[in-house]
Each structure stands twice: as C-alpha cells, then as structure tokens.
Amino acid sequence: MAAVPLPPAPPAVMAAPLPMVAVVGPQFCAPYVVALTVTKKALSLSDGDFVVSDVNGAVLMKVQGRVLSLHSHRVLCDAAGVPIISMREKMVSMHNTWRVYRGDSSDEKDLLFTVKQSRIFQLKTQLDVFLPGNDRACDFKVKGSWFDRSCTFYLGDTNTIIALMSRQYELKNVLLGRDTFGITVYPNVDYALIVAIVVILDAIHRERDDHE
C-alpha cells in the first residue's frame, strides 16, 4: 500500500506520533496513513457483505454475513477468504453490544474487544470500544453521524484522533445503489480494528432502521 498525505488535524492532536495501536495484530499497523475504500454490495442476502480495498483498488479484506445465524454475525476475512475476526452481536443488550473474536471463534479466550453504544438513546452516533478486562473507561471512542457516513475515531475518551470516515460519491456506485465510503487510518493504528468497528456501526444502524 502506498503512503498518502496525512489529512489536516488540530495541532494538539498531531503534536506527537501515536504509539502502535495493535488490537487485531501488528501486521495491520503501518508507519504511514492508510487510505481504504469500503464498498457495500447493493444486493446481499445477508445484508453484511463489504469489500475493503486500498488506494490502488486492490482488495485487502472482505466482510461476510451469516445468513442462517440466529443473531447478527459478521466475519472479516482476508482477500483469500481466510477469517481474520468474527463480530457477534450480544443476544440481550440494552446498548447494542457486539463482541469481536479472533478468527471465526466465539471462545472467550479469543475475545479481542467489545463495542457498544455509549447511550441507549442517542441522536448522534457514539460508540465505546473496550479491550478485554476493561469495562470502565473506554479504550477507543467513535463520534459522528452514520447517516452522513462521517465519523471520527478517538484514542480512549480523549481528543486524539486515530481514524476518520467519510462518504465517497462515485457515479458507478451511485447508479448501482452501492454504499461507498472512505476510511483514513492514522500511522501505527490497526486498520482491521477500524474496519471492524465500521462494519458494526452499519449493523447497528441497519437493525435500528428495520425496527422503525
């Protein structure tokens, strides 16, 4: 993947380079900004199929939904279809909680992180992400507007930005009804982690729309 210019950010945020933020694995951390394009298929039986590509259009990851699952279940795979992580919705949860595991596992020993809405009722998008063993102060936070496909990812409950998401308008995707958006991941930040959170955001808001 080629390095791309760092997008503008407040001076206080970019005063020092981030330490490595490796949750899924250090192989998903780059010493430069990683620009990704996420395209959701227009027609999908599982409502969970995405393709993640780099700035050159090469497919890096794919997301697949599980049609026959009793609860929402997404699997992030590499380009060859090998599972990287499994995202599973918690069956009973007031805060739309998802648990993310290594591979296609659901074993507690393979738990990587938990994602949940910051509040039960919220007008704007706000998610908290917790690493295993932590249920107090979040390790990462997401704020923004899913409707506008505009969200900012922060390190913990701070102003330190680790990634940005924005909608991309491409004529061919608009005509085909595809939802396409870009993700800018800052240096040393695990881009598999960011992609997983984006997929969970989509699932949470799709379920909300289905119940309205």
Question: Using one digit for the tens of pLDDT, what is the confidence trace for 166-211?
Answer: 976 554 544 444 678 899 999 999 999 999 999 999 888 765 544 4
What is the rounded distance in angstroms from the CA atom of residue 127 to the CA atom of residue 204? 10
Task: Please tell me the least confidently modeled range out of 108-112, 148-152, 157-161.
Answer: 148-152
Q: Which helix (H) or strand (E) holds 171?
A: helix 171-175
User: How much is the pLDDT for 209?
Assistant: 44
What is the rounded distance in angstroms from the CA atom of residue 104 to the CA atom of residue 78? 12
Domain boundaries of the chain, sorted by first residue: 38-210
Q: Please give the structure tokens belonging to residue 8.
A: 């503008």
What Rg do the C-alpha atoms of the chain give, in angstroms?
Answer: 16
Position 127 pLDDT exceeds 60: yes
User: How much is the pLDDT for 71?
Assistant: 63
Give 146 or 77, the one with higher predicted confidence. 77
CATH 2.40.160.200 assigned to domain 38-210? The reply is yes
Indicate the DSSP class of residue 189: B
Q: Kindly report the pTM of this predicted structure.
A: 0.84
With CA atoms as reference, report the closest residue to 23 among 112, 153, 129: 112
pLDDT in tens, 28-44: 999 999 999 998 876 55
Q: Cβ(150)–Cβ(7) under 8 Å?
A: no
Position 137 pLDDT exceeds 50: yes
With CA atoms as reference, report the closest residue to 36 among 62, 63, 60: 60
What mean pLDDT is predicted for residues 53-80? 83
What is the rounded distance in angstroms from the CA atom of residue 193 to the CA atom of residue 52? 13
pLDDT in tens, 106-116: 999 999 999 99
Counting every residue written for the chain, the total comes to 212
What is the rounded distance in angstroms from the CA atom of residue 109 to the CA atom of residue 96? 22
User: How much is the pLDDT for 160?
Assistant: 95
Q: Which helix (H) or strand (E) holds 205?
A: helix 191-210
User: How much is the pLDDT for 72?
Assistant: 77
